Structure 1
Amino acid sequence: MKRTHLTTGLISTVFAVLANTASAAELPSTMTWTAYDVGSQGHSEASAIADAFGKAYNTRIRIQPAGSAIGRLQPLVSGRADYAFLATESFFATEGSYDFSERRWGPQDLRAVAGRPSTFGVPSAADANIHTLDDLRGQRVAYVAGNPSVNVKCDAILAFAGLRRDDVEAVMFPTHGAAMSSLVEDRADATCTTTTASQLYELEESSRGIRWVDIPADDEEGWARMNQVAPVFQSFREIIGAGLSEESPANMLAYRYPIIVAMADRDEEEVYQFIKSLDESYDLYRDATAAIHRWAIEDAGVPPIDIPFHPGAIRYMEEKGLWSEEMQTWNDNRLARLEALKQAWDNLLNEEPDLEGDALAERWEARRQEVIVAL
């Protein structure tokens, strides 16, 4: 009798374990991801998530760092990487703009798995007396040479106020660090960046001081103008960063960084299991960096984001009850934009097979704008 009870209990335990195992996410035994350079926020967060996947699912992940957008995208497009941890270059890649306006690139068929909210705004030197976006007119605004990811956001913020780059004194700096330091050095009065750049803390402690220029959350016309530049932004009340706190917040724009990106033809079930793993293992990585807690799936798995969501990701969010009709409409519209641009690119290359370099980029930008206006 005692042996029978023991056996019955053991069987019950086995079934319980099997049930739990069946409900857990299932990942490939190995994966390769690309990410920003070692030391970057994107690489740090990719590493923390990879470590969590290893602990939870015994999956070995190789992270391939790259300092350029092409370096992060090429392995994904060629199939040598399974996923990429990207930023705004994912939007540029689907638009065929900047680095992706070359004949061998054009609009790429990318899909988002998830992407955590990150914030971006306009820090100014307090002594420059810049209180509103309109006050930027005629002021020295630091831009970064060869960094479209930063500069397009700055242009979008100016557009919010009905301004163009020509309306400010755009000062171009060779590196992001130099642009951030320019405010302390009194070589610029404002710039555009994330809230935790080390140079901003130096500005906060300097004689100039720091003031974040407010981007009003309730200005619908301003947001419409901003999203004409890039339809990927939303309002966010930020309390983390230089000069920011619960008592002194600032309204700025939210975008996604890092974004976990897959090719459109990635197996739907595999992507479903990936985002499920990201959600299930959240407690294992949520404290790894200052902002990684923003990977909570209810924030990271929904639009707006730079590119359309993958069907596997959408299926998981639907099962979680976190995907709405409005979100599906957004995704359908974003996908329609991508498909229209892909067709327009193919048409342009067929019409002018000898077009290359800057001439191609200029002709494509004009065609791209025509497509966007017609949507």
Structure 2
Amino acid sequence: MVPTRRARYYTVGSALAAAIENSASTRTIVQPYTGSSVYLPLLPSGEVTIGISNALDFGRAYSDPANPIKELRALARIYTTPYGYLVPRSSGITDYAGLKGKPIARDLKAQLSLTSTNTALLAAGGLNEGDYEQVTIGNVQEGLGLLVEGKVAATATIPGSPQSQQTHATIPGGIRYLTLEDTPETNKVLGEIAPGLSTFNVEPGEGMPSIDAPVTMIGLHQFLVVGASLPDEDVKKILTAVWDAWPRLQQDVPSLRSATVEEMAQPINAAPYHPAAIAFFKEKGIWSDANETHEDSFAK
């Protein structure tokens, strides 16, 4: 089981590994790597059995024009992290149209996936190249710092994160997350620019003081990913273990509370599902016509 260097991935990976070990009587080792570009190529060979990756990263690896890893397979969507653009409430900006002509933190020097995510977000909000001043940042934290200093009109991050809450407390009047239209058209724009993205509705809740009304952001969908050669029997054991342990896993790991077990098969995968996963989801009654249509798209 391979989480990335991020603490959240490691926590989720450790919990899932324990569930698999307890259910399948199989020894598991949780091994951190520096990033998905390091461990995703190890999945097809079996050097790594399972990885946790967001749909953008493994979708880019699967579809890379220069060196695609076509042997990657989605196993299950396990949770979703909301992500969106925010502005100071005092700015008076209430929608994406209000950002026209303003400096916006968009490109990240070392995180290509977030650069494409931000570009897709702005386009889904109706803003294209030339509609705003593009500002390059080193990381998400730098973008929030520039927002506090008034050097950018908007930047993007995860709501409820410690950095987001600190920014909300630092800026007089707090921050506001901008909302997208939750429509097929919006999702089409997102998918065309950054395959694996879709709209995600966020409700007010504990730990998110900046959100006082429902807002539509995007979801960074996190998947279990394997190699195509992983035996069907192993896939079934893994999915059965996770499925059966899901209520307990949600109690122990807050990140997993954003998804129900029935949403494991959502048709938002950026690489095909493993055939044994499809069989498992059909057995559970959660494989849909939308899944079939989405799977067919990978053959084109």
Relative to the length of structure 2, the TM-score reads: 0.89
2:254 is paired with a residue of what secondary structure? coil
Q: Which runs of 5+ in 1 are unaligned?
A: 1-32, 338-375
Distance 1:199 1:184 in 2: 12
Match of 1:173 in 2: 137
**How far is the alpha carbon of 1:93 from its aligned partner?**
0.3
2:17 is aligned with what amino acid? A
Aligned counterpart in structure 2 of residue 129 of structure 1, from 92, 110, 113 = 92
1:66 is aligned with what amino acid? Y
Question: Which structure has the larger Rg over C-alpha atoms?
Answer: 1
Match of 1:112 in 2: 74
Match of 2:128 in 1: 164
Task: From the superposition, tell whether residues 159 and 34 of structure 1 become closer, same or farther in structure 2 (CA, over 3 Å).
Answer: same
Runs of 4+ in 1 over 6 A off after TM superposition: none
Distance 1:273 1:211 in 2: 44
Please report the RMSD computed on the Cα atoms of aligned residues, expressed in angstroms. Answer: 2.1
Decide whether the 8 Å contact of 2:103 with 2:132 is kept in 1. yes
Alignment of 1:1-375 (within 5 A): 33-37=1-5, 39-87=6-54, 88-96=56-64, 101=66, 105-115=67-77, 116-143=79-106, 144-206=108-170, 207=172, 209-218=174-183, 220-239=184-203, 240=205, 242-244=208-210, 247-257=212-222, 259-333=223-297, 335-337=298-300
Task: From the superposition, tell whether residues 266 and 52 of structure 1 become closer, same or farther in structure 2 (CA, over 3 Å).
Answer: closer
Distance 2:148 2:137 in 1: 14
- CA deviations on 1:201-239 (whole Å, 9 max, x unpaired) are 012112151101011113x43332222113423332202
Distance 2:152 2:280 in 1: 46
Task: From the superposition, tell whether residues 110 and 74 of structure 1 become closer, same or farther in structure 2 (CA, over 3 Å).
Answer: closer
Decide whether the 8 Å contact of 2:73 with 2:225 is kept in 1. yes
Task: From the superposition, tell whether residues 208 and 187 of structure 1 become closer, same or farther in structure 2 (CA, over 3 Å).
Answer: farther
> Structure 1 or 2: larger helix share?
1
**How far is the alpha carbon of 1:112 from its aligned partner?**
0.6
Q: Which runs of 5+ in 2 are unaligned?
A: none
Distance 1:300 1:118 in 2: 15
Task: From the superposition, tell whether residues 251 and 277 of structure 1 become closer, same or farther in structure 2 (CA, over 3 Å).
Answer: same
**How far is the alpha carbon of 1:178 from its aligned partner?**
1.8
**How far is the alpha carbon of 1:313 from its aligned partner?**
1.0
1:286 is aligned with what amino acid? Q
Distance 1:146 1:50 in 2: 30
Task: From the superposition, tell whether residues 180 and 63 of structure 1 become closer, same or farther in structure 2 (CA, over 3 Å).
Answer: farther
Relative to the length of structure 1, the TM-score reads: 0.72
Decide whether the 8 Å contact of 1:279 with 1:296 is kept in 2. no
Task: From the superposition, tell whether residues 225 and 331 of structure 1 become closer, same or farther in structure 2 (CA, over 3 Å).
Answer: same
Decide whether the 8 Å contact of 1:125 with 1:208 is kept in 2. yes
Paired-residue identity, %: 23
2:268 is paired with a residue of what secondary structure? coil
1:121 is paired with a residue of what secondary structure? strand
Distance 1:44 1:180 in 2: 25
- How many residues align? The count is 294
Task: From the superposition, tell whether residues 306 and 244 of structure 1 become closer, same or farther in structure 2 (CA, over 3 Å).
Answer: farther
Distance 2:126 2:69 in 1: 28
Using CA pairs under 8 Å that are at least 6 residues apart, name the structure with larger relative contact order, 1 or 2: 2
1:84 is aligned with what amino acid? G
